[in-house]
Chain A
């Protein structure tokens, strides 16, 4: 079945550092790919998405490119802020549009 593997955390960074969270997927067909973010005590929020190969999703300085050849959707941000501290989930949607999530990566940014 469909599955998502993302790098384990926790990840601790200093402000203005570069962030990369690796995500790879296994799926039949051509899923859509998402990054969701969960701030402490809150529900998940969609951060960005890509619906086909070579699409780049971007939002709030975060970017991820749908790479079909490497089945990857790595999340990057060039300069993180303390407010980016959260849990990040990579996800894919199947033809019924339910989401399969990775395990989540906890990111802590220190001032």
Chain B
């Protein structure tokens, strides 16, 4: 158990809908990262937050957004969903915003868009 929790575990929704994925980092970790894992794209970094502020952006679509709250949990919002958004979404946390930081991954949320 990495100490990172993600809810829900599975999500099935229809095209055009909006969903919210939630992540709670390990106790004491200030950084949260979001990744998308799909068969055709592999594991892709989406976005990083550190102590409530956005620190880095990767291949995140404009339809997607995230935030980190004062209690350090994070939410990833996916809107106007398309079939191609079906994937595993992982959250990871780290105790360091810079320097070598090991990332601890949650179990993931499997999103299926029908």
Q: Which residues of chain A have a CB within 8 Å of any CB of chain B?
A: 32, 34, 36, 42-46, 49, 51, 89, 93, 95-104
Contacts and interface: CB of A to CB of B under 8 A. Distances in A.
Interface in B88-114: 90, 92, 94, 96-108
A43 B94 contact: no
Interface residues of B, number: 28
B45 A98 contact: yes
A43 B106 contact: yes
Nearest to B47: A98
B42 A103 contact: yes
A36 B43 CA distance: 12
Contacts of B98: 95-97
A46 B56 contact: no
Nearest to A104: B42
Contacts, number: 57
A101 B44 CA distance: 7
A97 B96 contact: yes
B105 A100 contact: no
Given A97-B96, A103-B42, A42 B107 contact: yes
B25 to A, nearest CB: 13
Nearest to A101: B43
Interface in B43-76: 43, 45, 48, 55-56, 58
A45 B108 CA distance: 12
Contacts of B97: 97
